[in-house]
C-alpha cells in the first residue's frame, strides 16, 4: 500500500522529465511532431476555438481544485509547445514539412493565453465575493457613469479633506467644496446594506481573441466606475459595461443628492 504514492511520483517525474530539462534537440522536437503520443496530453479546451470558448463560459462552475488540475495540464502542454518551437526555430526545412502542426501550436497558444486571462479574472472575482465587510472609516468615494452619446460621463467624488471636512466635486470641476458632513457615513451605511464591498472588479462581456470565434463589436454603450477607499488602506474598485446585481443605482442617487448644488447648470 505504501509503494503506490512513490510509484505515482516516479511516473510523474518520468512524464515531466523533458519539460524539466527546459530544452529539446531538433531531433526530439521532430519526433514529437511525428508521434503526437510522445507529447503532453492535449487538454480539451485547447483542441479548437469553439471548445475553448464553451469551456470559458462554463469555467465559473468548476470547483477550485478541479480548475487547478486543468490549469496544470494546460500549462504542461503550453510549456512543451514552447520547447518544440524553440528547438525548431532555425530548422526551416522542418518548419515547412510540419507547417500545419506548428500552426496548431500557435493556435493552442492563443487559447492558452485566453484561458489564463479568464482564469485570472475568475480568481479575482472569487476573492471579491469572499471580501469581508469593511470596518474602517470611508474616506473617499468616486463614481461615474456614462451611457450613450447623449448621456456623457458625469464623475462624482466625495472625500475627507486633510482638515477633516467632508468635501465633494462633480463634472469637470477640480475644486472641492464642503458638503453635508454626514455624507460619507451615510454612503458607507448604504455600502454595507447593499453589500457593495463584494462588487467584482469588472463587469463586462467576454471578448474573444480566438480566430474562429467572431468578436462582438460594441459600437456604443454604457460604462460605470466605482472606487471606495478606507482609512486603513482598504481600496475597492469596480466597474464595467453592465450593472451588477447590487444596487449601485441607490449609491448614484445618494451621491447626486449630496452634490446637487455642485452640478453643472444645464444650458437654456
CA distance 127 to 124: 5
Q: State the number of CA atoms in the 13 A half-sphere of 233 facing the CB.
A: 0
pLDDT band (50, 70, 90) for residue 217: low
User: What average pLDDT does this structure show over 159-180?
Assistant: 91
21 or 174: which carries more pLDDT confidence? Answer: 174
Neighbours of 33 (CB within 10 A): 19
pLDDT at 222: 78
Kindly tell me if the per-residue pLDDT of 265 is higher than 70: no
pLDDT surpassing 90 at residue 234: yes
Q: Determine the number of helices (DSSP H) and then strands (DSSP E) in the chain.
A: 8, 6
d(CA 159, CA 258): 12
Share of the chain above pLDDT 90, in %: 74
The whole-number pLDDT of residue 268 equals 37
Q: Over the stretch 24-53, which tens digit does the pLDDT of each residue have?
A: 999 999 999 999 999 999 999 999 999 999
Amino acid at each position: 500500500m505504501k509503494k503506490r504514492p512513490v510509484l505515482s511520483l516516479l511516473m510523474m517525474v518520468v512524464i515531466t522529465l523533458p519539460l524539466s530539462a527546459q530544452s529539446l534537440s531538433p531531433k526530439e522536437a521532430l519526433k514529437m511532431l511525428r508521434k503526437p503520443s510522445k507529447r503532453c496530453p492535449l487538454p480539451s479546451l485547447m483542441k479548437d476555438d469553439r471548445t475553448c470558448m464553451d469551456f470559458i463560459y462554463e469555467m465559473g462552475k468548476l470547483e477550485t481544485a478541479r480548475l487547478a488540475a486543468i490549469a496544470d495540464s494546460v500549462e504542461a502542454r503550453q510549456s512543451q509547445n514552447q520547447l518544440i518551437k524553440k528547438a525548431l526555430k532555425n530548422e526551416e526545412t522542418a518548419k515547412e514539412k510540419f507547417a500545419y502542426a506548428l500552426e496548431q501550436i500557435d493556435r493552442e497558444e492563443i487559447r492558452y493565453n485566453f484561458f489564463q486571462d479568464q482564469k485570472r479574472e475568475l480568481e479575482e472575482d472569487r476573492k471579491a465575493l469572499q471580501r469581508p465587510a469593511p470596518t474602517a472609516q470611508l474616506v473617499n468615494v468616486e463614481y461615474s457613469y456614462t451611457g450613450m452619446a447623449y448621456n456623457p460621463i458625469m464623475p462624482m467624488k466625495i472625500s475627507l479633506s486633510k482638515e477633516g471636512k467632508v468635501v465633494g466635486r462633480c463634472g469637470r470641476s477640480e475644486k472641492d467644496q464642503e458638503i453635508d458632513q454626514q455624507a460619507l457615513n451615510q454612503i458607507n451605511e448604504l455600502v454595507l446594506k447593499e453589500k457593495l464591498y463584494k462588487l467584482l472588479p469588472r463587469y463586462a462581456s467576454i471578448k474573444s481573441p480566438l480566430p474562429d470565434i467572431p468578436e462582438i463589436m460594441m459600437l456604443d454603450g454604457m460604462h460605470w466606475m466605482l472606487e471606495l477607499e478606507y482609512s486603513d488602506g482598504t481600496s475597492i474598485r469596480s466597474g464595467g459595461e453592465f450593472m451588477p446585481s447590487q444596487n449601485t443605482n441607490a449609491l448614484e442617487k445618494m451621491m447626486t443628492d449630496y452634490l446637487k448644488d455642485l452640478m453643472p447648470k444645464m444650458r437654456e
